[in-house]
Amino acid sequence: MSDCPHDPAARLALLRAQWGGRGDLWVFGYASLIWRPEFEAAEHRPALVRGWHRALRMRSQINRGTPQQPGLVFALMAGGACRGFVYRMRPETAEAELERLWDREMVGGGIYDPRFLPCQTPQGTVPALAFTLSRRSEHYTGRLCDEEVLAILRHARGRYGTTLQYLAETACALRERGVRDREIERLMRVAVNAGLVRPGDQPAAARRSGRRSESRSSSVSTSTSTPSSSTSTPTAG
Q: Which residues are catalytic?
A: 105
Distance CA 202, CA 55 (A): 19
Side-chain-facing half-sphere of 142: CA atoms under 13 Å: 3
The dihedral region occupied by 20, where left means phi > 0, alpha psi between -120 and 50, and beta the remainder, is left
| Closest C-alpha among 150, 161, 164 to residue 194 | 150
Helix H or strand E encompassing 33? helix 32-35
Rounded Cα distance, 126 and 148, in Å:
38
| DSSP SS3 for 91 | coil
Phi, psi of 223, rounded to the nearest 5 degrees: -75, 125
Q: Is 109 left (phi over 0), alpha (psi -120 to 50) or beta?
A: left
